[in-house]
Structure 1
Amino acid sequence: MTMPLSQRIVFWTVVCCVLAILSIPTVVVVGASFTAGNIIAFPPEGLSLKWYSRIAGAGDLWRAFGRSLYVAAVCTALAIPVGTLAGIALAKYRLRFETPFQIYLLLPFTIPLIGSGIGLMLLFGEMRILGQLWPVGVACTVINLPFMIWAVMASASGLEPDLELAAANCGAPPLSTFFHVTLPAVVPGIISGSLLMFILALNEFLVSLLLVDARIVTLPVQIYNSIRSIITPDLAAISVIFIASAVAAVILLDRLVGLEIFLKSK
């Protein structure tokens, strides 16, 4: 059914406005990172790659980036087994506490992140692990785990029950059925959920700010500490690298499993 001309005009006007609002901050940051001046500005004062050259030799930024990668790796490693098993269970079985668990999955969207961060800070303080780096990965897993579970649920819900029944009728034990039938069917959800967990942990700021000290800050906290004094173009350059990493992850996700798998998890 074709929309009338007036509706098409309104529709595409709204679409263009939304795209512009979403794109303008990225365009400004990218443009400011190429400025030849010494002050961050848009439009840039000439074009230069000197700020990218400067961050290439900034040891503190690269060390902070390595810590962020470590946190993201810990988060992803924990989220894969926990999120996979929980997602399969919620998609395939009727659980006694399914409703409370579904409510828990909504908590990241209802509880302010500062509240979760303070709670984890107090908990880790009592456990005497506050200030170490690996608990930040655990905290990112706790906060973002619903995304992993939803991604796996989207794949598990499309699994034909007859396949598992056929494997059982052929004499396969439950563990073999899980590893050879169920698990391969949910691999697309595992991949998409893992990439999302990695990106979210890599960019996590507030929880990292509360759980680490000044000696082992992650890259988002390092950037925050820098802009408290002055915002220089090298911060725009490192932001562009973050944006490029996110775009690369989306492209990788599309190549591996297709974006429709990830979108179905929503």
Structure 2
Amino acid sequence: MKGDRSKAVTLWTFVAIALVMLSAPTLVVLGASFTAGNMITFPPEGLSLKWYAEIAGATDLRDAFLRSLIVATICTAISIPTGTLAGIALAKYRVRFAAGVQVYLLLPFTVPLIGSGIGLMLIFGKWGLLGQLWPVGVACAVINLPFMIWAVTASAASLDPDLELAAANCGAPPLSTFLAVTVPAVTPGIITGALLMFILALNEFLVSLLLVDARIVTLPVQIYNSIRSIITPDLAAISVVFIAVAAIAIALLDWLVGLDIFLKSK
């Protein structure tokens, strides 16, 4: 009994340390965004909402945030059909070059993001597409697509094949079976992957830095350009807005499909 208690104390100690380390940067940024001073300090110099009013009236930050939303929307719109079909195919069928596909799914962990970004920059530059916003969304989809495929594959792997056979025996054509049986069954994975792709694209910095110019910077690039000169509390405030958007997406994910589905897909 004493040994079990010591193990529990040790485990929860490490959990507490991990939680503090993970949450400390967010808490610092959150506190700094409410400072009444003109510089980022923690603890804040008094409490004020003036920096949130500042970013509400800042045209450059607002436009950059809207561009990030557009990029995230394009990325998600591309990823849903592509990742859904690929995930279902990998889970249900014997796919040629399956080993190569599995290697591709590991690319986010094996290929440095700077390498992928430079490659995409060279491709889009050769095609004369640099300086436009939609290629950034396409690039985010290309780089992060494995996450969408993983989420759908996890749902498709648990699909009972007898359901599709029953639909076929009832005379449903393949397309109707796919739309009425397969897609609803993997919807939790689709929702999980779509929200994840949206969050990843919304926060993408390095690829955006390589593909945009000064006229169409996204919010992460706008923040980076600003902190190169001076770090002011309005940047902390816009960072909190980013965190809030991600938190809303996670809450929506939990409400729609449950976080357990998301964790299993990983």
Query: RMSD over aligned Cα, in angstroms?
Result: 1.1
- The alpha-carbon deviation at position 3 of structure 1 amounts to 6.4
For residues 60-113 of structure 1, give each alpha carbon's deviation from its aligned partner in whole angstroms, at most 9, with x where no partner exists: 101011111110111000000000000000011111211110110001111100
SS at match of 1:186: helix
Tell me which residue corresponds to 1:96: 96
- Determine the structure 2 residue equivalent to 1:52: 52
Which residue of 1 is the match for residue 244 of structure 2?
A: 244
The TM-score, its normalising length taken from structure 1, stands at: 0.98
Q: Which residue identity lines up with residue 212 of structure 1 in the other structure?
A: V
Provide the residue aligned with 1:107 in structure 2. Answer: 107
Q: Which runs of 5+ in 1 are unaligned?
A: none
In the other structure, the counterpart of 2:151 is: 151
Q: Which runs of 5+ in 2 are unaligned?
A: none
**Structure 1 residues 40 and 93, CA gap change in structure 2 (3 angstroms):** same
Q: Relative to 1, partners in 2 of residues 1:171 and 1:19: Cα closer, same or farther, differing over 3 Å? A: same
Distance in 2 (alpha carbons) for counterparts of 1:2 and 1:31: 41
Correspondence for 2:63? 63
Letter of the 1:89 counterpart? A
Instruction: Please tell me the residue identity of whatever aligns with 1:124.
Output: F
List 4+ stretches of structure 1 deviating above 3 A.
Answer: none
**Aligned pairs (5 A) from 1:1-266:** 4-266=4-266
The offset of 1:2, in angstroms, is: 9.9
- Partner of 1:4, secondary structure, is helix
For residues 139 and 3 of structure 1, do their structure 2 counterparts lie closer, same or farther at Cα, with a shift above 3 Å needed?
farther
The aligned amino acid for 1:226 is: S
Identity across matched positions, percent? 76
Letter in 2 for 1:179: L
- CA deviation string 1:189-208 (max 9, x = no partner): 11110011011001100000
Amino acid in the other structure paired with 2:40: I
For residue 175 of structure 1, report the CA deviation from its aligned partner: 0.8
Letter in 2 for 1:197: M
Q: How many residues are aligned here?
A: 266
Q: TM-score, normalised by structure 2?
A: 0.98
Is the partner of 1:247 in helix, strand or coil?
helix
Pick closer, same or farther for the CA change 1:2–1:253 going to 2, 3 Å: farther
